[in-house]
């Protein structure tokens, strides 16, 4: 297993390895074998499926996803390559082939159990922020102008852009069928917040200024950044002058909060929690359209920086 870079935490090192994949580019753009395989593994971990899967099931599930993504349905190639990268596990198969040549006869004969390594699975399973950060980077680095929405919908993963409900985080898979989300499932500890911010900062410079869709006018926004701000807020409007947050909850039992960039991304603002706040609809309207909006924006910028520092990180 590759050792962590001395300046990175283990999750940061894993994020770096997951998003710096060696992929085939002979067709002019990056092949989607590995990114699709990792997104499939992420979706399975998110819903609590078993880490290891039989080769028959892997061929059926992953082969179908690859075909739907426009690449030949040959799961042998990404599994063999990810195994060599230390990101995929084939227990008891020390002689697993490389992706060079034709690994299909080996897989056809051995029919191995396989799945992401325990560290990859556990990270995908336990951390919504990390899961979103990895997903966003896989889409940005490898999908280019290709629309990932059908694949994400098939996998049950969040779409490439935040949905129409401004403040709601990604719902845990185990609660998708229920009416309410328990607060402890989306609130974040200081350690989780700090780790999430560090992961975002690894790729923030590359994200800055990009648009969605390609060539469009709307800047890309990070779901992971929104989830960090909402978790930091503990369900309360972060405007210290708030005159009264509505007591009403959403259909899923979440507070009525909207995550907002204090300085608009279109005007050069950062897509980072230190420049974002969670606001109730009333305060959001004042910040956007009220006569006192310029004074309130200056206040909210200070608040965002203070709340960010209070969560244990000074970046």
In a structure prediction context, what are the per-residue pLDDT tens digits for the chain, which is 315 residues long? 444 444 555 777 887 888 788 888 877 788 899 999 999 999 999 999 999 999 999 999 999 999 999 899 999 999 999 999 999 999 999 888 888 888 999 999 999 999 999 999 998 998 788 888 888 888 888 988 888 999 999 999 987 655 444 444 444 433 333 344 444 455 678 888 888 888 788 767 665 545 444 444 456 778 888 889 988 998 899 999 998 888 888 887 788 899 999 988 777 788 899 999 999 999 999 999 999 999 999 999 999 999 999 987 544
80/97 Cα distance (integer angstroms): 6
Q: Do 113 and 172 fall into the same domain?
A: no
Whole-prediction pTM value?
0.78
The answer to whether residue 297 sits within a structural domain is: yes
The answer to whether residue 133 sits within a structural domain is: no
Q: Which of 273, 279, 280, 276 is nearest to 311 (CA)?
A: 273
The answer to whether residue 245 sits within a structural domain is: yes
C-alpha 201: how far from chain center? 13
87/108 Cα distance (integer angstroms): 21
Of the three residues 121, 156, 176, the one that is the final residue of a domain is 121
pLDDT of amino acid 8 = 58
Q: Do 303 and 175 fall into the same domain?
A: yes
- Yes or no: say if 82 and 117 are a contact pair by the CB < 8 Å rule: no
188/193 Cα distance (integer angstroms): 6
The answer to whether residue 143 sits within a structural domain is: no
The answer to whether residue 3 sits within a structural domain is: no
- Do you find a cis peptide bond into 213, omega within 30 degrees of 0? yes
The answer to whether residue 154 sits within a structural domain is: no
The answer to whether residue 64 sits within a structural domain is: yes
**Domain ranges, residue 193:** 168-310
3/222 Cα distance (integer angstroms): 28
Of the three residues 121, 141, 159, the one that is the final residue of a domain is 121
22/6 Cα distance (integer angstroms): 22
Give residues with Cβ within 8 angstroms of 269, minimum separation 6: 261, 262, 263, 275
Q: Do 265 and 180 fall into the same domain?
A: yes
Q: Do 117 and 182 fall into the same domain?
A: no
3-state SS record for the chain: CCCCCCCCCHHHHHHHHHCCCCCCCCCCCCCCHHHHHHHHHHHHHHCCCCCCECHHHHHHHHHHHHHHCCCCCCCHHHHHHHHHCCCEECCCCCCCCCCCCCCHHHHHHHCCCEEECHHHHHHHHHCHHHHHHHHHHHHHHHHCCCCCHHHHHHHCCCCCCCCCCCCCCCCCHHHCCCCCCCHHHCCCCHHHHHHHHHHHHHHHHHHCCCEECCCCCEECCCHHHHHHHHHHHCCCCCCCCCCCCCCCECCCCCECCEEEECCCHHHCCCCCHHHEEEECHHHHHHHHHCCCHHHHHHHHHHHHHHHHHHCCCCC
The number of folded domains in the chain is 2
The answer to whether residue 157 sits within a structural domain is: no
Q: Do 29 and 93 fall into the same domain?
A: yes
Of the three residues 51, 86, 121, the one that is the final residue of a domain is 121
Torsion of CA 215, 154, 91, 34, to 10 degrees: -20
């Amino acid at each position: 297993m590759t050792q962590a870079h001395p300046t990175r935490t283990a999750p940061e090192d894993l994020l770096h390895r997951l998003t710096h994949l060696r992929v085939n580019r002979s067709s002019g753009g990056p092949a989607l074998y590995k990114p699709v395989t990792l997104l499939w593994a992420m979706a399975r971990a998110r819903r609590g499926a078993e880490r290891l899967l039989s080769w028959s099931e892997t061929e059926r599930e992953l082969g179908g996803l690859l075909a739907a993504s426009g690449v030949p349905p040959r799961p042998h190639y990404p599994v063999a390559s990810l195994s060599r990268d230390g990101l995929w596990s084939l227990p008891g198969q020390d002689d697993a082939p490389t992706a060079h040549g034709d690994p299909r006869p080996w897989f056809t004969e051995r029919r191995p159990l396989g799945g992401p390594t325990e560290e990859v699975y556990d990270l995908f399973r336990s951390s919504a922020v990390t899961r979103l950060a990895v997903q966003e980077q896989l889409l940005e680095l490898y999908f280019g102008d290709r629309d990932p929405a059908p694949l994400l919908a098939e996998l049950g993963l969040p779409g490439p852009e935040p949905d129409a409900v401004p403040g709601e985080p990604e719902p845990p898979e185990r609660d998708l069928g229920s009416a309410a989300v328990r607060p402890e499932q989306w609130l974040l500890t200081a350690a989780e917040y700090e780790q999430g911010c560090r992961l975002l900062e690894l790729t923030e410079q590359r994200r800055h200024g990009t648009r969605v869709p390609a060539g469009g006018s709307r800047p890309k926004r990070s779901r992971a950044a929104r989830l960090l701000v909402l978790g930091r807020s503990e369900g309360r409007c972060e405007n210290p002058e708030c005159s009264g947050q509505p007591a009403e909850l959403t259909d899923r039992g979440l507070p009525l909060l909207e995550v907002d960039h204090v300085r608009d991304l279109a005007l050069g603002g950062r897509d980072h929690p230190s420049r974002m706040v969670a606001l109730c609809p009333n305060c959001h309207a004042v910040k956007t359209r009220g006569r006192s909006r310029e004074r309130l924006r200056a206040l909210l910028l200070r608040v965002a920086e203070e709340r960010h520092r209070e969560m244990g990180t000074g970046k």
